[in-house]
Structure 1
């Protein structure tokens, strides 16, 4: 799997969806009863790991804030510069990593420094951060010492298993290194001491293993990793449990925290968990509507919206399209109607478990289906180069019925990427949705032109 892209290779490793070592199986997600689906951050994070086989935001700039601004700032362009143990370097290369990604160039020297340094880092799926902190943990372990030395917290057992897979693969030339999973369903005898070097698990179970059951001596932990901090604090109880675990650790324990976003609540949490940190942030590139032609179609009913959609498909050639609906019910109906018309349709539904969603997205990405019908929640994080048209069958609104401008930008932004011109069509079927559209126009200061889908000549012009 030789490739020049560290991040691409990491994602291929992180995309393994099988249970690790038969420890525990992934449970199906219970069906959601609320038709307007609520975002499940943990599921979304797992989905992103499974689907991001290409790094689309690899132009992001990295901002480094050192705890000591007077110390020299080191970065590396190769893994040899890190002076890794030979078995670890062998593991890195065996996974197909030839050189560090942009964020690793700065993060790895800090994470592997002597004496150890603490780090708070912003990183999305696709930046290679999992393999980076795995490398840090494996570097600190003394195999001859048969007790837990590194502790990694994940918000869910599915995410813990993903990280565990990377640990197993990167450490495969260190057969004496052992890994334990502190997750529900992994039963141990009371009073038993764990001899594995690395423990990865969810906060509640790890807390029990450290305090009540005493399987782990927290005073011997050298490296503490808290992954997916933004997901962690969105889960009831995880924030307090994580802080309680951190307070049991020795003062010289290295603390590493990672989060995809850094809103105020995440910062407050990070500062409680990680004292005296170095900080790495990603400067996200601004999404723009400059390369996207936007139109709206006036309709009186759902059936008219569907007919307008058929007219568009009848007049122009569309490589691949994403169609967004407000509810699962509408999405299912629309997918069925499009299938009857002979279209190759994929449906993303909230009832699917994460692995099923990832499989649907992968088929769409490979071009096996040409149309992806989805609600907003299911489709976050999807980047498909061939998408040339985005259709808002329903305009995006928040829970109060106001325009959701950020979601609008993310939705139609998918079609103007990779230097190509994109096309976005909005279906308007009421005074209320016309008002939503007008407010979206005002917000972005971009005119959205009316399109008459009964006029085939007019439709053909928009494709040119």
Structure 2
């Protein structure tokens, strides 16, 4: 471990990462059918000072709309995935469990009643609508609630009930008669912390005199002030301030949770804070790391800071493109690309479609053109803050718009089961103009979700595009076939309903 200097400005770095969105002025996203703004367009922008998803540099004229937009950061993606969830995801992926004590029998529960929860806590769980544990919950909860407490590193995809699992573990360890913080949960952003806190408050509302407080921006403590709440939900910067001002004693924390642990560990500033807080905890504190993903380096680090953990991971499966048919269409201009889209729709029965453009300007032009052609279109690009983007995605998931025109801000992490078509209006390239194969995989992976088949169509309009497509073919060992959108028989044979 490194020696951390006392004057390290990690807190400022953490707070900066909480400022995820920019003030948005004069944005209108119009539904052509009823000429009304979407929920997102009408929403009040978040009052923060960092642009979300903007590219770092501008073009010659300083026009951000002409610049290729970058994908969401890890913490933005985490927030986005949670904001658009309206129900638990039924995961088909298998879990692998590595127990701290391999000789201990592994068991799971099929009902919350089997967990021997306090009656008030069980009542809160049932009142929230949890009829039976999800897959991650039925596997993790018996280990989380074991006595003596055991540490855990757990992975499960977004929307499967991870938050409820670790919240239940925290609530189960709280002794309300002790008027000091006993559980601490850190999240990478202000918004995620508030979301977790809502679950704590709702699930624990039957526990008499339970109190929860938030160590988040603008919630400062005075030097010498003592926190009496039983559970602290916070972000790294503010939490460290509270510890520095001795607002609570971290050595009395009985459960420490890192939510979105991959972001917390992999992001500069957050990892430093994880180590700092960890050093102040008692040896008997239960350490819980929960995340949707764990890169190998992140997992190695997690194992270093968590002693003898139970590990629950998704069984690794090779990413495959086998269930996605991939084609390219030659077009000489963006207008020809729009014409090709109309022809594709005349042949293909599309559930919902996502169309990726390189710049905001192209995305706005295409959305307007498609609206004028009678399509119901949603537009998603980098000038919207995270909550506004989530509002648009919720509408899209509800099929209020059938077409989503977007930039790289939506290239990964968003699962919409009904998406059957992905169009690369512009092929993804890196800063050097070469094929961005990772982004290509994430883009076309928005279709063919949950084992279903999908179609990906790539528009190419110049020699550079052909070179980029050849790079993509070589990288994935695939052949992307030509599609003639002016030949309706050819399209019917290749992409029509069989």
TM-score, normalised to structure 2, is 0.83
Deviation track 1:132-179 (CA, whole Å, cap 9, x = no partner) reads: 110000000000110101111111111100100100110011131100
1:191 has 2:224 as partner: yes
Instruction: Indicate which of 321, 333, 343 corresponds to 1:311.
Output: 343
CA distance 1:401–1:54, change in 2 (3 Å): farther
CA distance 1:447–1:29, change in 2 (3 Å): farther
Counterpart of 1:94 in structure 2 is 127
Cα offset, 1:55, TM superposition: 5.2
1:409 has 2:441 as partner: yes
Counterpart of 2:331 in structure 1 is 299
Structure 1 stretch displaced more, 39-48 or 374-383: 374-383
Instruction: Indicate which of 456, 469, 472 corresponds to 1:440.
Output: 472
Counterpart of 2:279 in structure 1 is 247
- Structure 2 gaps of 5+ residues are 1-44, 56-66
Structure 1 stretch displaced more, 161-170 or 201-210: 201-210
CA distance 1:271–1:120, change in 2 (3 Å): same
Counterpart of 1:80 in structure 2 is 113
1:61-210 matches, within 5 Å, as 61-210=94-243
Q: Supply the distance in 2 between the matched residues of 1:192 and 1:312 (Cα, whole angstroms).
A: 65
Cα offset, 1:318, TM superposition: 2.7
Q: Secondary structure at the match of 2:435?
A: coil
Structure 1 stretch displaced more, 351-360 or 398-407: 398-407
CA distance 1:121–1:311, change in 2 (3 Å): same
1:386 has 2:421 as partner: no
Counterpart of 1:271 in structure 2 is 303
Q: Secondary structure at the match of 1:336?
A: helix
- Structure 1 gaps of 5+ residues are 1-24
Deviation track 1:223-281 (CA, whole Å, cap 9, x = no partner) reads: 11111122123443121122111111111111111222222331243134312211111
Do 1:41 and 1:234's aligned partners in 2 also have CA atoms closer than 8 Å? no
Instruction: Indicate which of 227, 239, 251 corresponds to 1:219.
Output: 251
Q: Supply the distance in 1 between the matched residues of 2:177 and 2:238 (Cα, whole angstroms).
A: 26
Do 2:357 and 2:363's aligned partners in 1 also have CA atoms closer than 8 Å? yes
Q: Supply the distance in 2 between the matched residues of 1:390 and 1:232 (Cα, whole angstroms).
A: 31
Instruction: Indicate which of 52, 55, 61 corresponds to 2:85.
Output: 52
Do 1:29 and 1:353's aligned partners in 2 also have CA atoms closer than 8 Å? no
Do 2:381 and 2:409's aligned partners in 1 also have CA atoms closer than 8 Å? no
Deviation track 1:343-371 (CA, whole Å, cap 9, x = no partner) reads: 11101111112121111111112221121
CA distance 1:326–1:56, change in 2 (3 Å): farther
Do 1:155 and 1:235's aligned partners in 2 also have CA atoms closer than 8 Å? no
Deviation track 1:290-334 (CA, whole Å, cap 9, x = no partner) reads: 333221111222222222222223444433211011222221221
Do 2:154 and 2:311's aligned partners in 1 also have CA atoms closer than 8 Å? yes
Do 2:71 and 2:410's aligned partners in 1 also have CA atoms closer than 8 Å? no
Aligned alpha-carbon RMSD (Å): 2.1
1:366 has 2:386 as partner: no
Cα offset, 1:195, TM superposition: 0.7
1:336 has 2:356 as partner: no
Counterpart of 2:51 in structure 1 is 31
Q: Supply the distance in 1 between the matched residues of 2:386 and 2:237 (Cα, whole angstroms).
A: 22
Q: Supply the distance in 2 between the matched residues of 1:326 and 1:458 (Cα, whole angstroms).
A: 28
Q: Supply the distance in 2 between the matched residues of 1:374 and 1:252 (Cα, whole angstroms).
A: 48
Q: Supply the distance in 1 between the matched residues of 2:107 and 2:169 (Cα, whole angstroms).
A: 16
1:347 has 2:374 as partner: no
Counterpart of 1:19 in structure 2 is none
Do 1:29 and 1:351's aligned partners in 2 also have CA atoms closer than 8 Å? no
Cα offset, 1:205, TM superposition: 1.3
Counterpart of 1:42 in structure 2 is 75
CA distance 1:316–1:256, change in 2 (3 Å): closer
Q: Supply the distance in 1 between the matched residues of 2:452 and 2:370 (Cα, whole angstroms).
A: 26
Counterpart of 1:9 in structure 2 is none
CA distance 1:175–1:318, change in 2 (3 Å): same
Structure 1 stretch displaced more, 80-89 or 232-241: 232-241
Q: How many aligned positions are there?
A: 439
Q: Secondary structure at the match of 1:391?
A: strand
